[in-house]
Structure 1
Amino acid sequence: MGNLMNKVTVVGSINLDTNLRVKRMVKPGETIHAKEHYSAGGGKGANQAVAASRAGAQTSFIGAVGDDAPGKQMMDLLKNEGIDLTGIDTIADESTGQAFITVDDEGENAITIYAGANFAFGPKEIAQKSALLKDSDFVIAQFETPIAATVKAFEIAHEAGVKTILNPAPGEDHISEELLKVTDMITPNETEAETITGIHVEDEASARKAAAKLHELGVDVAIITIGSKGAFYDYNGVSELVPAFKVKAVDTTAAGDTFIGAMSSILKPDFSNLKEAILFGNKASSLTVQRYGAQPSIPYQKEIEAK
């Protein structure tokens, strides 16, 4: 692998997660007791940054928090992970993003998000951080922050020859074509792939059709994660379903985020080791789903590399 660390910059969301463990999901009009309650770091952006950093990448973050207690808590958490926080703005009169997550005994989750500061920045704030973007191997973004900000970040990255990775989650009905034009790699799950391409993805054949559509939209590398089946990639005329590791999942929160962060930590910018990087991502996410919580469940490089 060499000891040259990838420089990964994540443009994205920072949430404080409030987690509840319940026997089963609550029904409308019903009151139930939770078995456990805890708060932890979350937000797709922050999860991906933590995953990249723990997997060995030199990681920077661009985003925003509110001037409040959850914001300070999240900044401390990210700082403890060794993530460069110079790209994070603290916004007065704004709440830090929060997510309320319920996980039942089957490992299913239901999530309600309050975006707060995650939606309080745009292209102007991104432009001020262009040095950080240009000094990266990869720039990663998701859909929990403003699209206009992401487009700007990807444009700056593209002009500097920096590769961009779009995680189109949570699913959007319509993805801006100007964003896809500056996206080098897209990593939807099967539901998100269907939302973007209109093709129902359930196996390798349907994933290949969806990937062809993503290439048409201007994206070079398509990776479609198909739950416990694994990750299908299609790049440069080569495609394959890389199987997932068989494990007993207790909580799938942050599985996709772990996959992307870990993969980006060892991926070569010319995508020449794509399959190896996907395997590394699969291994990392297989560890995440065996533990509770978002960021607390994300593995470290030595755990992923352990056979």
Structure 2
Amino acid sequence: MTNRIVIIGSINVDNILHINRLPQPGETIAMSEYSQAAGGKGANQAVASARSGAATTFIGRVGDDNNGWLMIEKLKREGIDVQHVITSHTLPTGQAYILLQESGQNSIIIDHGANYQVMVEDVAAAADAIQAADFVITECETPISAAAAAFHQAKAAGVRTILNPAPANQRLTPELLAYTDIIVPNETESGTLTGMPITDQASLAANAAYFRERGVATVLITLGDQGVYVVTDTGSRLLPAFPVHAVDTTGAGDAFIGALASELQPDLSNLYAAVQYAQRASSLAVQGLGAFPSIPHRLAVLAAAKNA
């Protein structure tokens, strides 16, 4: 069965500065290369979902500019339904400035632009798509009020919700958490949101307990090359990562979430298998440059698993 996914989120153009290392305070360094790629956490997740075979609908905003027109065309080419992507006439399309080190690690600065104009009204206009979905996904590069409205609609219709609380610079409201079925932070984001940095197994378990105490039944904390810590009503389990050489980690978490939603059964009966599929997709994504360009298609994920 093909999953139907609705994503409410951000659309950005990524400006990538290739550098040897991060500059020290007051230091000037040269970049070795400059490149651009399509991105934004929401758009990345939508592409990952579509490339893994899900029927994907997007709710978001772009500016009335070249970047906005470009991004809409890119999403259309992936087979993503963009009828609920609205053009803003007052703010530009969002942009990200990515400092990409030779190690593959990145630091990202966001200009939200039109992404911060995503409104509750935009969600209401997409009610039919939300109610017909298997999963609704959102993150924190668009307003929390719109995210909560989308999740409220989803839960009222019996639709599963997945929250990627990234970046972790907005306060997650009790309402949003109460409407969240699955939360997927990385270890840094989780520590920031809970106020408990993850340093060992005990703090990892305490982080998961924090979210579950606030109504989130399933917690997936991604731990980079250490894997994914999965906590459900039946217990906890660490699923190891697949070891690869990372070239660019931009969009790796988004590749994970989109792939997860495409593979996961709505009753969550195949949760562990879906997490492993998503880990495989993420491991392929970090081996390429850029967000959109590196997100794998389903056949590539299955081939990597077969050849492992």
Q: TM-score range by the shorter chain?
A: over 0.9
The equivalent of 1:232 in structure 2 is 229
Contact 2:140 2:170 in 1 (8 A): no
Matches within 5 A, 1:124-139: 124-139=121-136
Query: CA offsets per residue over residues 71-110 of structure 1, 9 Å max, x none?
Result: 0111111111111101100111220000111101122212
**TM superposition score normalised by structure 1:** 0.96
The equivalent of 1:96 in structure 2 is 93
1:21 pairs with one of 18, 22, 40: 18
Q: What is the CA–CA distance in structure 1 between the aligned matches of 2:115 and 2:122, rounded to whole Å?
A: 12
**When the two structures are aligned, how many residues end up with a matched partner?**
304
Contact 1:64 1:120 in 2 (8 A): yes
- The farther-off stretch of 104-113 and 161-170 is 104-113
For residue 221 of structure 2, give the secondary structure of its aligned residue in structure 1.
strand
Q: What is the CA–CA distance in structure 2 between the aligned matches of 1:29 and 1:207, rounded to whole Å?
A: 36
The equivalent of 2:150 in structure 1 is 153
Gaps of 5+ in 1: none
Poorly superposed stretches of 4+, deviation over 6 Å = none
For residue 270 of structure 1, give the secondary structure of its aligned residue in structure 2.
coil
The equivalent of 2:115 in structure 1 is 118
For residue 110 of structure 1, give the secondary structure of its aligned residue in structure 2.
strand
Contact 1:190 1:202 in 2 (8 A): no
**TM superposition score normalised by structure 2:** 0.95
Q: What is the CA–CA distance in structure 1 between the aligned matches of 2:171 and 2:182, rounded to whole Å?
A: 18
Contact 1:204 1:241 in 2 (8 A): no
Identity, % of aligned pairs?
48
Which amino acid in structure 2 is aligned with residue 21 of structure 1? H
The equivalent of 1:207 in structure 2 is 204
- The farther-off stretch of 153-162 and 169-178 is 169-178
Computed over aligned residues only, the root mean square deviation of the Cα atoms, in angstroms, reads 1.3
- The farther-off stretch of 64-73 and 32-41 is 32-41
Contact 2:59 2:122 in 1 (8 A): no
Query: CA offsets per residue over residues 126-167 of structure 1, 9 Å max, x none?
Result: 111111111110000000000000000000011000000000
The equivalent of 2:247 in structure 1 is 250
Q: What is the CA–CA distance in structure 2 between the aligned matches of 1:199 and 1:39, rounded to whole Å?
A: 36
Gaps of 5+ in 2: none
Q: What is the CA–CA distance in structure 2 between the aligned matches of 1:203 and 1:297, rounded to whole Å?
A: 31
Query: CA offsets per residue over residues 15-62 of structure 1, 9 Å max, x none?
Result: 001111112223444433222211111110001111111111111100
Q: What is the CA–CA distance in structure 2 between the aligned matches of 1:12 and 1:122, rounded to whole Å?
A: 11
User: Cα offset for 1:204?
Assistant: 4.3
